[in-house]
Structure 1
Amino acid sequence: MRILLFLTLPLYALDQVTKYLVLRFIDPYQPPEVIVRDFFSLVNVTNSGAAFGTFANNNAFFIALSFVALVTVIFVLLRRGPSDIWRRCALGLLLAGILGNLTDRLVHGHVIDFLFFNLHVRFADPFPAFNVADSCICIAVFCFIIHSFCEERGRAATVTNAISRDESNLRDGR
């Protein structure tokens, strides 16, 4: 449960504090607060949907989906299984992200996004605003991908070792 104490709770707190500051100091009706010209700004944007504003105005659905995801992640965290750092970090990050956006939906009726990047690429010009919780979820997905590659490589090595051992036993007549 150290993952909760040292990863999930601090990131959840960071998400909520940054959103509080955005609500307090950034007017949603004013131009973005430019931090790095032509690249990064702070905004106050509401999102009643999912990623990139898809499925807007479905707050009740996303609250229910978040609760299901929350219960699933907690169940997986509590279940005894292989203890892999990538898996634990991914679950901790995912939990922080789910809690952050779920809190917004319950308290405000929508998610508050404020990190706004202009990446100057055609397919993402500009990139939709997002928040710390969204970042946690994306990094969690990346950690799960790394975990699956490490797990697959470990399985492949185990199979290779077993085949080598069997071939060696056959040669030795065992």
Structure 2
Amino acid sequence: MKFLIFLGPPLFALDQFTKWLVRENIAYGSPGIEIIPGFFSLVHATNTGAAFSMFTGNNLFFIGLAIVALSVIIYFLMRDSLARKPEQRLNNLTRISFALLVSGILGNLTDRILRGEVTDFLHFYIQNYAWPSFNVADSCICIAAALLIIGSFGKQQRKPAPLVHRDR
């Protein structure tokens, strides 16, 4: 729970603050502010879909999905905090991943509930090839997913097979 307490609120606040700055300072749909010419701009875009504007027009579905995902994550974090045996506990990489997921999910859920859409503003591109705009919450969710995948390749603690004694 300590990772959730220490990572969650600052990342959620950063997400909401940066979205507010964008809504207040960059006209919606404008070319935005070019930060690195030919590569990165800050823009003001919105979407009602998932990360990177996938599955747009499903705002209510994603509100429900976010609530279910948060419930599952909080269940695992509560189970972890109540576990007495070390082998029942989550590893730190998983705890960090869950903290990132909670902050990212809450950041976009807040937008969906308050505005009916999510504000995106980070826009990477090279010439005519562009990655869909995204935000801090999307970044938290993607980093968490990557960490969970990386963690799945880690050492699996296996119990040794029981010794079998056979009488001859």
**TM-score > 0.5 by shorter chain:** yes
Secondary structure of the corresponding residue to residue 55 of structure 1: coil
Report the counterpart of residue 24 of structure 1 in structure 2. 24
Secondary structure of the corresponding residue to residue 154 of structure 1: coil
RCO greater where, 1 or 2, for CA within 8 Å and sep 6 or more? 2
Q: CA deviation at 1:131?
A: 0.3
- The answer to whether the Cα contact below 8 Å between 2:59 and 2:112 also exists between their aligned partners in 1 is yes
Report the counterpart of residue 15 of structure 1 in structure 2. 15
Runs of 4+ in 1 over 4 A off after TM superposition: none
Of 83, 90, 105, 1:83 maps to: 90
1:64 equivalent in alignment to 2:48: no
Give the stretch that moved more between structures: 27-36 or 8-17: 27-36
- The answer to whether the Cα contact below 8 Å between 1:93 and 1:136 also exists between their aligned partners in 2 is yes
- The answer to whether the Cα contact below 8 Å between 2:40 and 2:124 also exists between their aligned partners in 1 is yes
Amino acid at match of 1:19: K
Secondary structure of the corresponding residue to residue 55 of structure 2: coil
- The answer to whether the Cα contact below 8 Å between 2:4 and 2:96 also exists between their aligned partners in 1 is no
- The answer to whether the Cα contact below 8 Å between 1:86 and 1:146 also exists between their aligned partners in 2 is no
Q: CA deviation at 1:119?
A: 4.5
Question: Which structure has the bigger radius of gyration?
Answer: 1
Secondary structure of the corresponding residue to residue 153 of structure 2: helix
Report the counterpart of residue 3 of structure 2 in structure 1. 3
Q: What percentage of residue pairs aligned between the two structures are identical? A: 47
Amino acid at match of 1:2: K
Report the counterpart of residue 147 of structure 1 in structure 2. 151
Gaps of 5+ in 1: none
Q: CA deviation at 1:6?
A: 1.2
CA RMSD of aligned residues (A): 2.1
Report the counterpart of residue 135 of structure 1 in structure 2. 139
Q: Structure 1: how far apart are the matches of 2:55 and 2:149?
A: 26
TM-score, L = length of structure 1:
0.83
TM-score, L = length of structure 2:
0.86
Give the stretch that moved more between structures: 74-83 or 58-67: 74-83
Q: CA deviation at 1:154?
A: 2.9
Report the counterpart of residue 98 of structure 1 in structure 2. 105
Report the counterpart of residue 35 of structure 2 in structure 1. 35
Gaps of 5+ in 2: 81-87
Report the counterpart of residue 115 of structure 1 in structure 2. 122
Q: CA deviation at 1:31?
A: 1.6
Secondary structure of the corresponding residue to residue 130 of structure 2: coil
Q: How many residues align?
A: 159
Give the stretch that moved more between structures: 2-11 or 47-56: 47-56
